[in-house]
Amino acid sequence: MRQQTTLHGFPKKERAFSPGRRTTRASRQYRPVATKEAMHLVLRSDRARGTKSLLKYDHVVRAVIAKLALRHGVRVYRVVNAGNHLHITLKLSKQFLWHGFISGVTGGIARALGFKRDENSKRGFWNSRPFTRMIAWGRDYNVVKDYHVLNQLEADGAVPPRSQMLKPERWRHVVLAFS
């Protein structure tokens, strides 16, 4: 079983994916992509607020993801829409299909929300490149699944945001009820 590389022990400025260096041209490197394990994908946009919130376009977002997953041979296990970011658990059938899938999803969602980039602005709809993480089957997959459930409950307003919570004991019973 292949382990995900850690960034433990490296100074922060040498980490390729530390905040601030994620979008600079010089530090662009491949994010982990796997075909044997599931992957956790996070897409975040600070521009998805108010009338452009991803929650208002949830059915469109899910339709775009489902259409492109079918076209590119990607199996989508779970999509969690949290308003300004998406959590997607998926599995690729072939590694070379990743680029077409992710570029189609990011562009399709921005287009569906009616986002138009200003001519002079370099800033796009998404904050940074997509975050990916390999998920080992079993315990790791269940941890990510619980995290998705908690994010969905926060988006629905059933649980207060984690920034307002002091102890996990305040919300753990709610997560167990919905999983």
Predicted confidence (pLDDT) at residue 90 exceeds the cutoff of 70: yes
Query: Where do we find the tokens 């089957």?
Result: 137
**Is the pLDDT higher at 57 or at 8?**
57
Q: What's the confidence (pLDDT) of residue 18?
A: 47
Tens digits of residue pLDDT in 116-154: 665 656 677 788 788 888 888 888 888 888 888 888 887
Name which of 99, 77, 98, 74 is nearest 87 in CA terms: 77
Q: What is the mean pLDDT of the chain?
A: 77
pLDDT digits (tens, 9 = 90+) for 58-84: 898 999 999 999 999 999 999 998 888
* Largest distance between two CA atoms of the chain: 49
The residue with greater pLDDT, 125 or 164, is 125
Structurally, what CATH architecture does the domain formed by 15-135 represent? 2-Layer Sandwich (3.30)
Please write the tens of the pLDDT for every residue from 14-60.
444 444 545 555 555 566 777 888 889 898 888 777 777 888 888 98
* CA dihedral angle for residue 166, residue 172, residue 174, residue 178, rounded to 10 degrees: 140
Q: Please, which residues have CB within 8 angstroms of residue 138's CB and are 6 or more apart in sequence?
A: none
Q: Which residues contact 45 (CB under 8 A, 6 or more apart)?
A: 54, 84, 85, 125, 126, 127
Query: Measured between alpha carbons, how far is 43 from 69 in angstroms, rounded to an integer?
Result: 16
- In this prediction, what percent of the chain has a pLDDT beyond 90? 15
pTM over 0.75: no
CA distances to 33, 51, 96, 104 from 14, rounded to whole Å, are 21, 39, 28, 31
Is pLDDT of 170 > 70?
Answer: no
Of 94, 96, 122, which Cα lies nearest the Cα of 23? 122
pLDDT at 29: 59
Range(s) of the chain covered by CATH 3.30.70.1290: 15-135
